[in-house]
Structure 1
Amino acid sequence: MGRLRGVAGRLRALLGTARRRVDPALRTLTPAGRGVLALTVVAWILGWRLGWDEMTLLAATGLVLLAICALFMIGRTNLEVRVAVEPPRVSVGESVAGSLSVVNKARTPALPFVLELPVGEGGVAFSYPLMRPGGTQEEIFVVPTEKRGVIDVGPATSVRGDPVGLFRRDLGWSDVSEIFVHPRIVPLEPLGTGLMRDLEGVTSNNVSMSDLAFHALREYTPGDDLRHVHWRSSARHGKLLVRQFLDTRRSHLTIVVDSRPGSYRSDDDYETAVSVAGSLLVRALLDEYDASFASGRHAASKVVGKAVLDACARAEPSPETLVSVAREANRLAPDTSFAVLVSGPFTDFVELQRAAGQFGIDVAKAAVRVDHELTPAVRTAGDLPLLTLGRLEELAPLLHWGIG
């Protein structure tokens, strides 16, 4: 029994080794290759069991065809592939050029192969002839940027196969690069929320004992920090006086864009809504505000520099309600001081008010409705200014009139 168990163990080990060696080869078979292999096996069984010479000939033909095609897969591919795209950030419609550099790092010539490079929803393919060791070849391609969004470039994948298409081996050689296609924006005047700045931000009416905005002097009470005693005034009045300050806070603009396709008359109106958000966010950064953005499943808090438009580029239509997105935006940016809601004509005013209500009562709020069929207008219902526009160019005058 012990000898039988030993033989069985060795047999399992051999089968495992054989399977590990055969599996990579079987994975290179295409659906057509698997069909030819299956037909060859069936024809050989029929020819052997029934004595059909025709089946035996068919099996031999299939075997020879598989063997010849398998010869094209012999050898290892060792490439160095570099993908570069410039610039990595553009506005809608601007051109982006990419380069694909391939070096054969193997000691033997590389057999002809195809290099596939996914670009967004499409891709490009380059055919390479026999490449000598150390050989280099460079290709140029253009990335389409007609639509706002994030375009994934890569990974570059080499494709080795035979002329008949029975075998195929794909190998990835590069990482995925991102190209940010930013929304179109327009220049805006400073937002001017009517609040006065100091060294660190914007002053409020909240009294504090430790800040940068000096407010007044008051009589010392036990527990006050002696560092805030104003000694000259204390000597003049004959009693201890301490400095009193106002709390300061940095203005924080949060933009919430309705992502539901049913809220807009067209896809172009949604793109205009994102452009409105991008224009306001860029102006906020120029005014040294903090800036946050939320639309659908994507949200970014306190983005700075180019990342503010990167956040807009990632926005996509999704079914989340404006109220739920505003609630998430308030969670991510609880220190928001100015909130702007952007939506389409099919979002009723009550929902806009409910979304605005997700922010605190001390937060200034405004709404923008994008509708290319209506004329520009500004109105206020309750405490929520509502700006209506159809084109991005109408934002600057409306903004100055409505909340400037």
Structure 2
Amino acid sequence: MKIRSSGGGITGRGAGVVLAAVALLAAGFAYGYPDLALLGGAATIAILCAVGFGLWRPRLGVDRVAEPDRVPRGAPAAMTVTVRNTSRLRAANLVATDRCGAATVPVPLLRLRPGRDTTVDYPVPTTRRGVVPVGPLRVTRTDPLGLLTLSRAYGDTTTVWVHPRIHLLRAVPAGMARSLDGRIDKVPHGTITFDSLREYVVGDELRRVHWRSSAKVGELMVREQLDTSEPTIVVLLDDRAAAHPDRRDGTAESFEAACEAAASIIAAAVREDLPVVLHLTSGPAAGPYLDVLTEAALRDGDLTRTVRSLRQSRLGDTLVYLTGPGGRTDLGTVGALRGPYPVVIAGLFGDRDAAPVAAGGALIVIEAADGEQFAAAWDGVRGW
């Protein structure tokens, strides 16, 4: 059992009874009215009983299981709460609620006998991307006369991660660096490196024979080489508040669409077994990328400083910049990375009615209203 906090206090009725008890006792003893003193004593006894009732703390154990604890936006998720009465003597007859995000869920604890438990299942809202805190269980107790109300929290808090939706992307940009599977033949010089030695097999090229090792071993040994030029995709998510000025109920739909696009690109790269790096305008991503996208929020940022850092570090060879209506004027700044990054793609969300972007061939621009439209337009790009 873990009790983490308490709240509540005396009710309006309780305050009235306290004042009445003081007045009756004072009047009864001061003016010699035993009936008034008797009523004041009865009110005092009621108050003491209420305090004693409130001091008793029910012993409850709370366990929560989220199924699942990480879910795409809009997918079903459920929370199972099990409450056990760990007391050996008294049954629990309480009013309890569990916090689920911004909502409260009633948890019935009627006639919960010692050693018994009750289980409640309820859905977790997944209509919005983000981390949904669930718990703690809050138990509210009121004495029979309604003079005192006490509220205590039991158990820990569980979180449910609502990830951005992932849309299927069939095409993956290859950039200038190429893998050894032969899909594209523009491998820069110096990307083939020595990996290991193995025995000669009929059909191996004689120029790959390592003669010095062959002389020592007594049989032909062949150099095994490895291509270190895997294409790396860098996803730059613009999390500046200025880039997503249009908000409704505190949510910028253009930013939600950008997060979905970032998650879709990351999923496509993982599916193709290609390295991928996530970078936010506010700084590099640390931790699992889908969790980072779940926690991402709008804040102040400096795009110029981020572009300078990306130019110096050169994290990959394909850069994907995802922004909102406020980032339209910054496309030229990001397009200047066309030198260190052979392929630069920009996803512009929430600004379909504006004039088309004149990229001048240096920048591939995809304009979309949401993540689904972005996925359809992405697969139609043939410029990388």
The TM-score, its normalising length taken from structure 1, stands at: 0.70
> Counterpart in 1 of 2:374?
395
**In structure 1, distance between residues paired with 2:282 and 2:9:** 38
Q: Return closer, same or farther for 1:29/1:311 CA change in 2, 3 Å cut-off.
A: closer
- Offset of 1:104 from its aligned partner? 1.4
SS of 2:51's partner is helix
Q: Within 5 A, what are the aligned runs for 1:2-401?
A: 30=9, 32=11, 35=15, 39=19, 43=23, 60=41, 62-163=43-144, 164=146, 166-173=148-155, 175-194=156-175, 195-198=177-180, 205=188, 207=190, 210-212=193-195, 230-231=210-211, 248-264=228-244, 265-266=246-247, 267-295=252-280, 300-301=285-286, 307-323=288-304, 335-349=315-329, 351-355=330-334, 361-362=340-341, 364-371=343-350, 373-374=352-353, 380-381=359-360, 383-399=362-378, 400-401=380-381
- Offset of 1:110 from its aligned partner? 3.0
Q: Return closer, same or farther for 1:178/1:252 CA change in 2, 3 Å cut-off.
A: farther
- Which segments of 5 or more consecutive residues in structure 2 lack a partner in the other structure? 1-5, 197-207, 216-222
- Give the number of aligned pairs: 350
Q: Aligned Cα RMSD in Å? A: 4.4
SS of 1:130's partner is strand
Question: 1:100-146: CA deviations, max 9, x gaps?
Answer: 11121221123322332111122212231232211121112111111
**In structure 1, distance between residues paired with 2:320 and 2:91:** 58
Q: Return closer, same or farther for 1:231/1:184 CA change in 2, 3 Å cut-off.
A: same
AA of the residue aligned to 1:187: L
- Higher helix share goes to which structure? 1
- Which segment is superposed worse, 339-348 or 388-397? 388-397
**In structure 1, distance between residues paired with 2:169 and 2:323:** 20
**In structure 2, distance between residues paired with 1:246 and 1:268:** 44
- Which segments of 5 or more consecutive residues in structure 1 lack a partner in the other structure? 1-26, 214-227, 236-242
Question: 1:258-289: CA deviations, max 9, x gaps?
Answer: 23454344522222121111111111111222
- Offset of 1:207 from its aligned partner? 3.1
**In structure 1, distance between residues paired with 2:58 and 2:338:** 58
SS of 2:381's partner is helix
The TM-score, its normalising length taken from structure 2, stands at: 0.73
Cα pair 1:184 1:275 within 8 Å, conserved = yes
**In structure 2, distance between residues paired with 1:357 and 1:196:** 23
- Offset of 1:379 from its aligned partner? 5.3
Cα pair 1:120 1:151 within 8 Å, conserved = yes
**In structure 2, distance between residues paired with 1:188 and 1:209:** 30
AA of the residue aligned to 1:319: D
- Offset of 1:170 from its aligned partner? 0.7
